[in-house]
Amino acid sequence: MPEPLKLADLKLRMQAYGIRPKKKFGQNILCDFNLLKAIVADAEIDEGDCVLEIGTGAGSLTGYLCDAAGLVVSVEVDTGMFEMARDVLTGVENLVQVRCDALSQQGRGLDDELVGSLLEYMRSGELPLLDSAESGDSAGPTGLSGPPRDRMLVHSHLPGKPPRCGRLKLVANLPYSVATSVLIAALESGLPFERMLVMVQYDVAEKLAAEPGGKHWGLPSLLRWCFADASIKRKVPAKVFWPKPKVESALLEIRPKAKRPDMAEYHRLRRLAHVLFQHRRKASSNALALALHEDNWQTSEWIAGIGGDPTARPEQLPPEVMYALAAHEEVEPLVRKAMQLHEDQLAAKAEKLARRAEWKRRVYGEEE
């Protein structure tokens, strides 16, 4: 692997490319080489592993992953970082870089093309992403050939066909701004992850690793609990990142359970949890009444009828009770209606923001 860039060299390289870490992408580059090596060791990566990395950044972790794994597929949304990492990692022969948003344009789930390609690779050893890969070093350091910048672009460092790997792992220093969304989307995707080991904000790790009834139990931990077990491997100080974040981080390990949940039941649970946890400081009966615009006596009756405590807060309801409530024949259609209203409101807000961005572009000639 090429030598990873020290911080001073990294700053100079980024200056040469005219880029800097972007707050909107949650870019905080991990600069401690010993910690980067420890992440790879903790993930127990070997040549039988295909590793998905979300957030290539400067390519420092990517290089260490390539040293250990059979194949690395690294995703980066930022064009400048993608270009720089591509050049930094020249000579690595088991890496495929993908420039795209790992999350779908609808904001739910991982990118369909990325998921489909990895599923096909785990099934047959073929990686369809390579069909659209740019050739060799055809693009210069300041621009990329191929599709427009808002579409997926793939750069393959492979000399031929991808090596065959039998396990899939997600290992990444996740962008802070989307860490929870990415992890839940990865669990929901159906990709056969053997393990996930990711760097996230410490408070996010606490919420995702919480167990039922715990202090930090809530919507993220409930959704994670349906698919996997989680634990915090180590706490990481802010000083090892650049730019230095205002919070500490943690290395979070997620191990998917042997049996996936029934997805129809899971999505019912997710819809209910979403509306219920909007009022998590209230009693469950009050929270459900507010979310569904029903009388408190009615929601209390529904909760008590499936063995729950109407006076308990939403986070105090056991997952089994939440599942039963989500499947209740009277509750389920009301939850669907409430979620549809919420999604319509989000769509209207997104449309308003898009019009504002277009207006700024036309008036000031700049992107928001």
List the chain domain ranges: 7-259, 264-349
Q: For residue 258, what pLDDT is reported?
A: 94
pLDDT for 75 beyond 60:
yes
pLDDT bucket at 106, cuts 50 / 70 / 90: low
Lowest mean pLDDT among 8-17, 31-40, 97-106, 291-300: 97-106
Third-level CATH fold of 7-259: Rossmann fold (3.40.50)
Is this model's pTM higher than 0.85 or not? Answer: yes
pLDDT of residue 107: 61
Q: Which residues are 232's β-sheet partners?
A: 252
Please report, in angstroms and rounded to a whole number, the separation of the first and last CA atoms in the chain.
Answer: 37
Q: What is the pLDDT of residue 1?
A: 65
The pLDDT value recorded for residue 343 is: 78
Instruction: 289-293: list long-range contacts, CB under 8 Å, 24+ apart.
Output: 291/335, 291/338, 292/331, 292/334, 292/335, 292/337, 292/338, 293/338
Mean pLDDT across the stretch 149-177? 91
Average pLDDT over residues 356-365: 82
% of the chain surpassing 70 pLDDT: 93
Asked if residue 121 has pLDDT above 60, the reply is: yes
